[in-house]
Amino acid sequence: MLRSTLAIVSSLVASAAALDPVEAYGNKFFNKDGSQFFIKGVAYQLVPDDPLIDTNQCNLDAKLMKDLGANAIRVYHVDAGKNHDGCMKAFDDAGVYVMLDMDTFNTYIEPTKLYWNSSQFEKYAEVMDTFQKYDNLLGLFVGNENIAKKQDSPVAPFLKAAARDMKAYRDRKGYRKIPVGYSAADIQELRPMLQNYLTCGGNSSEIVDFFALNSYSWCDPSTYEQSTYDKLQEYGKNFPVPIFFSETGCNVPGPRRFQDQDAVFGKLMVNDWSGSMVYEWIQEENNYGLIEYGPPAKKNRRGNDAVGGFIRKGTPTPRNPDFNNLKTKWASLHPTGVSKADYDTKSISTRACPMSTSAGWWQVNGNVKLPTLGETKTGAFESSPSATADPSATATGGGGGGGGKTGDKSGSSTSGPKETGGADKGNNDKENSTDRPPALLGASFAALVLSLAILL
């Protein structure tokens, strides 16, 4: 009887501690109680296929993440056909929300192949179907660094079409308003136009619900101006949707002091930015890891416990001083923001759709008509006073949460620092990480060469 009573009490306590969904409203995230939510997150890809199916490992990592002070993780690749209940509960119990990339190795929206088709849509829908039931699902990405070179901007309307169709699918299925957004490479010749384009046009059904940035321009020791964070703030001021760093944490020259967090969560940026995610949880060849599971393994060893020569399973051990530096920094930062009841959305502003310029990096001329599902670009985009295009009828399918493996993808493309402005630049070794798709390495290398050429 006593054991039964204790079990009931324990269940009630666990239920009471469960996280409530976070919503995007205006340019901020809000908790259920109306308080503003700020992201203190970590990139967490651990293994190439899906890090959210090993419940025991998730429990071990979630416990240490709670000690670190993290309240969110970003996962670049999941297998929608697997069971994620254990891991999602482990992170929920630790107070950690989850953000997911919906693309797979075979469905990444590539700038060299301009289309958004039903195969891509259905795989995205499977991820949404599988994870929508978890209250600690914070948001979903339609893409990551798809636009990284001068010739890449024509893919932007396809990214916007993907956001439109996934939001329409979410609403048709009766799911809660899970935010759907995009994670961009920090390239100054593209970033301002891209973030404005993905949120312009005046139709809330087809813009992204948030815009995130992978930026490594603040390399300690640095300053707000030297790092070009002052420019990021200039472009992000009164932005129409939540904006945050989806990757950050330059490791050159090291150790990392994470002084950029003072700017992000302090008076310089806190009124417009919703936090940041530090790259990354596990130590790999790129040397960005906050933790490790043991000494490097033999290079020819493969499997879930060792990929790329690094153990990926077991009790996580902090790598210091980086781990403690971040823990100490986050513990000192307690932004309160604004309550939803006192928040006036009239303060935010939607920018005009950017126009293309002769020989410029941005090639999408204003508020062009968005592609329909299955459309392939064969000529110039058609200009339109309203970019609205009803999602194709084929977009009513998708998902059901099944499907098994979605491809041998090592996660979304993450190419590390490519910011071409500012004095301090980060290390571009993230192509050695498990969250990078092999098919895109060549393009990312080309982007690196181009960026270096600009710097020189």
Q: Which two tokens stand for residue 226?
A: 């030297």
The catalytic residue among 145, 206, 292, 419 is 145
- 3-state DSSP assignment of residue 429: helix
Report the distance separating Cα 129 and Cα 127, nearest Å: 5
Report the distance separating Cα 442 and Cα 426, nearest Å: 19
**Where does residue 328 fall: left (phi above 0), alpha (psi -120 to 50 degrees), or beta otherwise?**
alpha
* Residues near 225 by beta carbon (within 8 Å), at least 6 away in sequence: none
Torsion, Cα of 405, 408, 410, 413 (10° steps): -100
Element (H, E) at 450: helix 441-455
Output the CA angle 257-334-243, nearest 5 degrees: 80
**What are the DSSP calls for 146-210, one per residue?**
---STT-GGGHHHHHHHHHHHHHHHHHTT-----EEEEEE--TTTHHHHHHHTT-SS-TTSS-SE
| Residue appearing with tokens 């490479």 | 185
247: annotated active-site residue = yes
The catalytic residue among 247, 280, 375, 431 is 247
375: annotated active-site residue = no
- How large is the C-alpha radius of gyration of the chain? 21
- 3-state DSSP assignment of residue 408: coil
Helix 118-131 to helix 156-172 angle, to the nearest 10 degrees? 50
Report the distance separating Cα 377 and Cα 371, nearest Å: 8
Phi, psi of 184 (to 5 degrees): -110, 150
Report the distance separating Cα 41 and Cα 60, nearest Å: 17
Bridging pattern class, strands 180-185 and 137-144: parallel
Q: CB-hemisphere CA count at 13 Å for 424?
A: 22
Are the C-beta atoms of 133 and 159 separated by less than 8 Å?
no
Are the C-beta atoms of 70 and 97 separated by less than 8 Å?
no
Phi, psi of 73 (to 5 degrees): -130, 155
Active site residues: 145, 247
